[in-house]
Each structure stands twice: as structure tokens, then as C-alpha cells.
């Protein structure tokens, strides 16, 4: 199987380069990427992305190879860093902290009859009564600043009692002060529509990471004579999918489709992230405080290993943004690709340089660990789920032997696009990992999947059936975790089954499923109209070997669509495979696409050539070598 990961050996640090820290309190610079995959850096195995500054940072410190976010989505992980508690405990389990509604208590959603599993309603603000990491360091004399994405709550203009923004949570400075932005509306390049402060402007085309890192550099210079805590929480490499055009052209020239990581647009976004990191490193060096500065580099969740929903500029919609191989899936998934993160830690003279570590580490650990490294202890009576790993990161033993992740969101439909994005909880203890997917079996019971990560990092072989004792032990740990954190646990919707039987008509679609679109059959014609991004029809086919997919289609405007074959989950094939097709607007046309030999394929998807108009199908046919043709006459 193709892989995106090959650990890079870093050259030894030049003798004498490590300088013992002084007696002053160390500064803390926390750089958090958004949606960056575990292997999206050159020093972590990528041969396509260019990250010279982050690779230089890795030479100064340690690369932690088994580091985990507390959630496969951003806001929950961000909260875990600032308060040291699991999202299951705080109730911030989804990235909804930008919505105007304020929910401060966790609970189950009241789902309608069409929803099979009741999910959690996430808390939508980080409560001000938490004593954050920023408040703890500020209390001891640190200057504090937050740069970039917050997404933990914003204040409503009509309510003066709201206190959910960075300056309410311990930060003296907040730039560019866009706390409610889930992503930069309008794009990363100036002029920035998501920044409401009219004084923050720059030349057209300036990248937001360049502007933010310049401001961060000014803060470092201004506070070089006192201890400071600087959050640089980048917007990169989260959507929207745009980047500097010169960078895109550069990566176009070196892209190789045989490399799982080959999206030039995403590579350009990674490069802008690295540019910002480089400016911060230079500022630290120029200020003469490198020996007194702890630098953290981390990501809030796994890489976006799926085709972007849309791109600007166009032309990259059909290729996954990145690849997390050999890890399974990516962002929003409970498989390894969703929560295993890149983690670099630097402190000259304290943290081993040009080294790697295999300790288990989770984002909840940053709070107690950074407090300990800076000579502080947590406030008496403060509830922390994280472990103090200060000795472990300096080469000692780790107190952590397990990690938990509770993700009470997702659905069967979402999991079709993002493998493993379904309500569930996992525990990893040692090399064993158990995932509990809630109410996913046909009878409404929980599905339990067991993997041995040392032998099966890609989570291909579910060993639950052969290891019942291990399943029972780990499932018991999950139950204890849920009780301890008072987690909101998804369950089968009691109103779903009885209403679903009455509401389900005869299958006029002949087994096809409509996704992001509305479909109906009338007078022998299947009519489909998009209702969301990338509308498609999907069906189970059970193919293997070469195949030809044909259909008769009619649409008003015409355009380009594609046919996709999804490989068997856990299989050894490298899919999905895609073949595009083009149709003209107007009358009926016959279209045929052919696929070369491939592995076992259970699912076929037919993406529409129009996202908003009506597309009609007269019939669809699938022919595979050595198999009887399958034809759907609507």
C-alpha cells in the first residue's frame, strides 16, 4: 500500500549549540496548527510538502511520535489545552463556539424521527469560571497574548455580561480579534472579510499568517525582558481552500500522483504556515531569548484526508487535501488519522535535541506539563484530566499508559465521506485500541472494534471477535471514563424505529442512495437535484477487477462530474478511484467510463455534473470482468 510516512533522520545538533537556560522563568510559545496531519511535515516523513522552518525547529527539540488530540475536531481540543480537561467533561465536543446561541450545559439532542442516533448538543462557549493556562501564567507575572484562531466563544454585543473571548480568559492581547470565526470568511489573502477591525488592513494578497506572525514578532521583541506566554494559533491549514498563487504553481511543478500527498493547493497552504513559524523563530533568536523559551508545535486534529468541498482557485476538488497514510482516515474520525498529531517540543538544554520519543501524550497534558516546566503548580482543588509529563518530555518515564477520546457526533452518512466519523468513544491502552460506536449494529447495540496498533497501525484488522477478554477489559475502561467525566452518551433514538417503518416508501431508487441531493423517480426517469455541496448517488456494487460504468443522462446546463469507486474498508487497495466525465446541456446523452483492474470495491458513487440544476437518469449499468452486468432501469 502506498504510504505518506517515512520518518526522517535529523542531523545531530552541532556541538555547543545547546545553551543552558538562565534562571529566569522560561517563556512559552504555543504554536497550534489547524487540521494539520500527523505526517504533513518534512521532518515527519512528507516528501512533498516543504517545511524548512518546522524541520529546523525539530532539530532543536524532540519529535513525539504518539501524541494525540483530545478530539478529532478543533474547538474541543483547544479547550482541552487551555483547561486540561477532557471535552467529555467540559461538554465542548463539537466546533460550535461561533454560533450566536449560548449553550452552557451539556445534554442529548432531541432528535426527530428521521435521525437514528441521538447525539450530544455541544456546549457553545468555554465558561469563564475555568482557570485557564493563560490565567495561571498571568497570575505569576507573565505577559500573555493570543494570535489567530480562537473558536472557543465570542461575546454578543447585546449582552455586556458575556466573557468568552481571549481577553476574558487571561490574554492581555488578542490579534486579529476574530473570536467567532470558524475559518477566515473570504479567504486567507487580504483584504480579510472575517476581520471586523477596520484598522487591520494590508496590501492586497498579503497572507494572514504573514501578518499575524509579524505582529507576534513585535510582541516578542517588546517583552523580551520579561517572561511571556504567546499563543500562535494559526488559521492554516483549515479551509477555505485558497493560497498564494506563486506557491500553488511551485507545487504543481513537483506534484506526483503516485505520492498520496500531491495536492498543490494544500502544499501551498502548508508552506504559508511554515513561513509564519519561521518569522516567529527568527524573532525569538533576534530577541536573544531562545535559550529561555519553551516552544510547542501541535495540531488540533487530524489532517483533512478527503477531497475539499470546494476550492478557490478551482481545479483541486477531485484530490484529497492531504493523506495521513499509513493512518486510517482523518479529521472528524475516531480512527488514528483523526486524532494522532504532529508534536514538536523545544527548550534548549532541557528537552533533548534532534530526538524522537514514543511516550503517549495527549492535549490535556499541556496544562500541567507547561505549568511544571515553568516552575508552577496547579491551583489547589483544580480538576485536571491531564498528566504532568515534565519529566517524560525531558527523557524520563511517562505516567500515561492510556488515552481516551469521546466524540458524540457524526452519522452513517458522514462516515461514508469521512471514515469513522460516527458517534463513539475510544480508549487506547498500550498497543491495544477499542472503539465503541454507539447503536451502530442493526439491532441498535453498540459496535465494538479492536485493533493492535503496533502490528496494525492502519486499523485494517478488527480483532474483537478473537479477543473477547481484551474487549471486555477496554470496554470497561470506556464505561468508567464516561461515568467519571459525566459524558453525554449517544443512544438509539427511541422514536426512530417505529416511525421509520411507516415513513419508508417502496424503494423507487432501486437501491441507490441520494447524498447532498434530492431524488425521485417519475415516468421511468430518476431526477436528482443538488441540495448541498458535491451531490452524488451511491450504491453497493461488490466489484473487483476492471469495470465499465455506463448511463444515459440529461441536464440543463451540462458540466463535469465523476464516477468514484470506494475500496473495501481495511482492504489493501489504494483507492478511491475516480474517472471524470463531461456532458453538454440539453438532450439525452450516453456516457461510459472505464476503470482498470482494482481491488475489492463495495461502493460506487456517481457525482453530478451540476450542483444546483436538475439531472435526469434513464438507466445506469455496471459491467465488471467475469461478472453478470448490473442494470438499473428506472
Q: Is pLDDT above 90 for 39? A: yes
Q: Is pLDDT above 70 for 38? A: yes
CATH number at residue 293: 3.40.720.10
Residue 112's pLDDT band (boundaries 50, 70, 90)?
A: confident
Domain boundary among 398, 430, 453: 398
Q: Give yes or no: residues 468 and 595 share one domain.
A: no
Task: Give mean pLDDT, residues 509-515.
Answer: 88
577 grid coordinates: 478511484
CATH number at residue 446: 3.30.1120.10
Residue 502's pLDDT band (boundaries 50, 70, 90)?
A: very low
Q: Give yes or no: residues 430 and 530 share one domain.
A: no
Nearest residue to 277 (alpha-carbon basis) of 21, 33, 8: 33
Answer whether the bond into residue 628 is a cis peptide, omega within 30°.
no
In a domain, 120, yes or no: no
Domain boundary among 471, 492, 513: 492
Q: Is the pTM of this model over 0.75?
A: yes
Residue 598's pLDDT band (boundaries 50, 70, 90)?
A: low
In a domain, 557, yes or no: yes
Give the whole-number percent of the chain exceeding pLDDT 90.
71
Nearest residue to 326 (alpha-carbon basis) of 380, 261, 236: 261
Whole-angstrom CA distances from 222 to 152, 227, 283, 587, 603 are 27, 11, 11, 68, 58
Q: Give yes or no: residues 600 and 554 share one domain.
A: yes
Domain boundary among 465, 492, 519: 492
Residue 346's pLDDT band (boundaries 50, 70, 90)?
A: very high
Nearest residue to 572 (alpha-carbon basis) of 256, 325, 306, 341: 325
Q: Is pLDDT above 70 for 337? A: yes
Q: Give yes or no: residues 133 and 167 share one domain.
A: yes
> Is the model more confident about 528 or about 508?
528
pLDDT attached to residue 3 = 62
In a domain, 3, yes or no: no
In a domain, 15, yes or no: no
pLDDT attached to residue 497 = 58
pLDDT attached to residue 52 = 98
Phi-psi region of 475 (alpha: psi -120 to 50; beta: other; left: phi over 0): alpha
Q: Give yes or no: residues 145 and 162 share one domain.
A: yes
pLDDT attached to residue 574 = 55
Q: Give yes or no: residues 467 and 556 share one domain.
A: no
Q: Give yes or no: residues 603 and 463 share one domain.
A: no
Q: Is pLDDT above 60 for 506? A: no
Q: Is the CB of residue 302 less than 8 Å from the CB of residue 37?
A: yes
What residues are paired with 594 via a beta bridge? 548
Task: Give mean pLDDT, residues 23-51.
Answer: 96
Q: Which DSSP string do the residues of 315-337 spell out, in sequence order? A: S-TTS-S---TTS---TT-SSHH
In a domain, 498, yes or no: no
Q: Residue 78 and residue 98: Cα distance in Å, rounded? A: 14
Neighbours of 379 (CB within 10 A): 12
Vertex 233, ends 228 and 234: CA angle to 5°? 135
Burial of 600 (0-12, 13-18, 19+ CB in 10 A): middle
Answer whether the bond into residue 326 is a cis peptide, omega within 30°.
yes
In a domain, 240, yes or no: yes
- pLDDT (tens digit, 9 = 90+) per residue, 548-578? 999 999 998 888 898 988 876 544 445 678 8
In a domain, 416, yes or no: yes
Vertex 38, ends 137 and 598: CA angle to 5°? 160
In a domain, 123, yes or no: no
Task: Give mean pLDDT, residues 482-505.
Answer: 74
CATH number at residue 614: 2.60.120.260
Q: Give yes or no: residues 289 and 314 share one domain.
A: yes
pLDDT attached to residue 16 = 35
Q: Is pLDDT above 60 for 164? A: yes
pLDDT attached to residue 154 = 94
> Over the chain, what is the mean pLDDT?
90
pLDDT attached to residue 575 = 61
- pLDDT (tens digit, 9 = 90+) per residue, 123-134? 999 999 999 999
Q: Give yes or no: residues 532 and 563 share one domain.
A: yes
Residue 543's pLDDT band (boundaries 50, 70, 90)?
A: confident
3-state secondary structure at position 369 = helix
What residues are paired with 139 via a beta bridge? none
Q: Is pLDDT above 90 for 542? A: no
3-state secondary structure at position 415 = helix
Q: Give yes or no: residues 546 and 479 share one domain.
A: no
Q: Give yes or no: residues 425 and 382 share one domain.
A: no
Q: Is the CB of residue 37 less than 8 Å from the CB of residue 303?
A: yes
Q: How many domains does the chain have?
A: 3
Q: Residue 81 and residue 71: Cα distance in Å, rounded? A: 11
Q: Is pLDDT above 60 for 404? A: yes
Domain that holds residue 510: 505-633
Q: Give yes or no: residues 517 and 475 share one domain.
A: no
Amino acid at each position: 500500500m502506498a504510504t505518506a510516512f517515512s520518518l526522517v533522520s535529523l542531523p545531530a545538533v552541532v556541538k555547543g549549540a545547546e545553551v543552558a537556560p538562565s534562571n529566569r522563568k522560561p517563556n512559552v510559545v504555543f504554536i497550534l496548527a489547524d487540521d494539520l496531519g500527523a505526517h504533513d511535515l518534512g521532518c515527519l516523513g512528507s516528501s512533498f510538502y516543504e517545511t524548512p522552518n518546522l524541520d529546523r525547529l525539530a532539530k532543536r527539540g524532540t519529535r513525539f511520535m504518539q501524541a494525540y488530540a483530545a478530539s478529532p475536531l478543533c474547538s474541543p481540543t483547544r479547550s482541552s489545552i487551555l483547561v486540561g480537561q477532557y471535552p467529555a467533561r467540559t461538554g465542548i465536543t463539537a466546533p460550535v463556539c461561533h454560533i450566536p446561541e449560548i449553550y452552557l450545559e451539556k445534554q442529548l439532542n432531541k432528535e426527530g424521527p428521521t435521525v437514528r442516533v441521538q447525539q450530544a448538543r455541544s456546549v457553545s462557549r468555554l465558561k469563564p469560571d475555568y482557570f485557564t493556562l493563560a490565567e495561571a501564567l498571568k497570575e505569576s507575572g507573565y505577559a500573555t497574548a493570543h494570535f489567530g484562531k480562537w473558536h472557543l466563544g465570542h461575546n454578543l454585543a447585546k449582552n455586556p455580561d458575556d466573557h468568552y473571548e481571549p481577553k476574558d480568559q487571561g490574554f492581555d492581547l488578542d490579534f486579529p480579534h476574530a473570536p467567532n470565526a470558524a475559518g477566515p470568511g473570504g479567504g486567507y489573502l487580504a483584504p480579510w472579510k472575517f476581520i471586523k477591525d477596520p484598522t487591520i488592513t494590508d496590501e492586497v494578497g498579503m497572507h494572514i499568517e504573514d501578518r499575524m506572525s509579524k505582529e507576534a514578532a513585535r510582541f516578542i521583541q517588546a517583552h523580551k525582558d520579561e517572561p511571556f506566554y504567546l499563543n500562535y494559533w494559526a488559521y492554516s491549514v483549515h479551509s477555505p481552500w485558497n493560497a498564494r498563487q506563486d506557491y500553488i504553481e511551485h507545487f504543481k511543478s513537483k506534484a506526483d500522483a503516485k505520492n498520496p500527498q500531491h495536492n498543490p493547493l494544500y502544499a501551498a497552504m502548508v508552506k504559508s504556515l511554515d513561513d509564519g513559524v519561521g518569522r516567529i523563530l527568527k524573532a525569538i533568536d533576534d530577541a536573544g531569548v531562545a535559550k529561555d523559551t519553551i516552544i510547542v508545535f501541535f495540531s488540533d486534529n487530524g489532517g483533512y484526508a478527503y477531497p475539499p468541498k470546494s476550492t478557490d482557485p478551482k481545479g483541486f476538488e477531485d484530490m484529497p487535501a492531504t493523506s495521513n497514510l499509513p493512518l486510517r482516515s482523518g479529521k472528524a474520525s475516531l480512527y488514528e488519522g483523526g486524532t494522532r498529531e504532529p508534536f514538536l517540543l523545544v527548550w534548549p538544554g532541557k528537552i533533548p535535541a534532534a530526538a524522537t520519543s514514543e511516550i503517549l501524550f495527549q492535549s490535556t497534558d499541556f496544562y500541567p506539563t507547561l505549568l511544571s516546566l515553568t516552575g508552577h503548580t496547579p491551583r489547589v482543588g483544580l480538576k485536571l484530566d491531564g498528566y504532568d509529563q515534565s519529566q517524560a518530555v525531558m527523557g524520563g518515564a511517562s505516567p500515561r499508559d492510556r488515552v481516551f477520546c469521546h466524540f458524540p457526533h457524526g452519522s452513517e452518512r458522514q462516515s461514508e465521506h469521512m471514515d469513522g466519523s460516527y458517534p463513539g468513544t475510544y480508549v487506547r491502552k498500550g498497543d491495544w485500541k477499542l472503539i465503541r460506536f454507539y447503536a451502530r449494529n442493526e439491532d441498535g447495540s453498540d459496535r465494538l472494534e479492536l485493533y493492535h496498533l503496533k502490528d496494525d497501525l492502519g486499523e485494517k484488522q478488527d480483532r474483537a471477535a478473537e479477543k473477547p477478554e481484551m474487549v471486555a477489559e477496554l470496554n470497561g475502561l470506556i464505561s468508567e471514563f464516561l461515568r467519571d467525566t459525566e459524558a453525554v452518551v449517544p443512544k438509539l433514538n427511541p422514536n426512530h424505529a417505529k416511525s421509520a417503518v411507516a415513513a419508508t416508501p417502496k424503494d423507487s431508487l432501486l437501491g441507490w442512495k441520494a447524498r447532498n441531493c434530492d431524488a425521485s423517480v417519475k415516468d421511468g426517469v430518476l431526477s436528482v437535484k443538488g441540495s448541498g455541496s458535491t451531490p452524488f448517488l451511491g450504491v453497493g456494487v461488490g466489484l473487483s477487477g476492471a469495470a465499465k460504468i455506463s448511463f444515459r443522462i440529461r441536464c440543463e446546463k451540462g458540466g463535469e462530474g465523476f464516477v468514484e469507486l470506494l475500496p473495501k474498508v481495511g482492504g489493501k487497495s489504494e483507492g478511491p478511484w475516480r474517472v471524470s466525465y463531461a456532458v453538454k446541456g440539453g438532450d439525452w446523452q450516453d456516457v461510459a467510463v472505464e476503470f482498470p483492474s482494482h481491488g475489492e470495491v463495495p461502493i460506487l458513487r456517481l457525482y453530478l455534473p451540476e450542483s444546483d440544476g436538475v439531472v435526469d437518469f434513464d438507466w445506469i449499468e455496471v459491467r465488471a470482468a467475469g461478472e453478470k452486468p448490473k442494470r438499473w432501469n428506472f
